Amino acid sequence: MTKDVTKPVATGYKVVKNNQGNVTDIVVEFSEGLAQAAAGAVTNPTIVDSNGVLVSSFLGGLTSDAVTAGDKEVTYSVTTPGKPSGKLAFSFGAELVSDRAETANKSDAFSYTIDFGANSGSVSLTSNSVLDNSTADQAADSTNAPTVEWGVGDTRPTAYGMI
């Protein structure tokens, strides 16, 4: 018989989105089954943006879901699903989770940088709208300039692109 001395190690993460493309959960995956934990009992990560500024309320806040003994994931649900943008560093403290060993082994600190990309949306132009011709035909995905699509026989233009 040998004693389990292996700590649970974070092995990855998933960003879960709903049908509208809004982030609803951040799921952290671990190398082994975890000890049971009540909802809200797993400490939230510290989140910092790409400028080093602390993000005090990511999508209204995070709450850890209950962890059933043996689960290999911790799910953090967001309070207000939405579409964050940019790169955010998620830092998780030491002893975040424990395994199921008789003498529980606790995880070390770890972090992930999650790139949520650029936030996009669409906007409608009216007949009085002004569009800068120098950027109108540039690719929306590389310059954040809108792409204008004119409908056949439609005098009301609609722009789709990055905002």
Q: Is 122 helix (H, G, I), strand (E, B) or coil?
A: strand
Question: Taking the model in full, what pTM does it have?
Answer: 0.72
The mean predicted confidence, pLDDT, of the chain is: 83
Mean pLDDT along residues 29-56: 97
pLDDT tens, residue by residue, 101-112: 999 999 999 999
**Spans of all domains in the chain:** 10-115, 120-162
Q: Is the pLDDT of residue 160 over 90?
A: no
Mean pLDDT along residues 82-100: 97
How far is the first Cα of the chain from the last one, in angstroms, to the nearest whole number?
61
**Better pLDDT: 130 or 24:** 24
Name which of 128, 120, 133, 122 is nearest 156 in CA terms. 128
pLDDT tens, residue by residue, 117-159: 986 544 444 444 444 444 444 444 444 445 555 455 545 444 4
96 Cβ contact partners less than 8 Å away, ≥ 6 residues apart:
42, 43, 74, 106, 107, 109
> Tell me, what's the pLDDT at 1?
66
The CATH class for the domain spanning 10-115 reads mainly beta
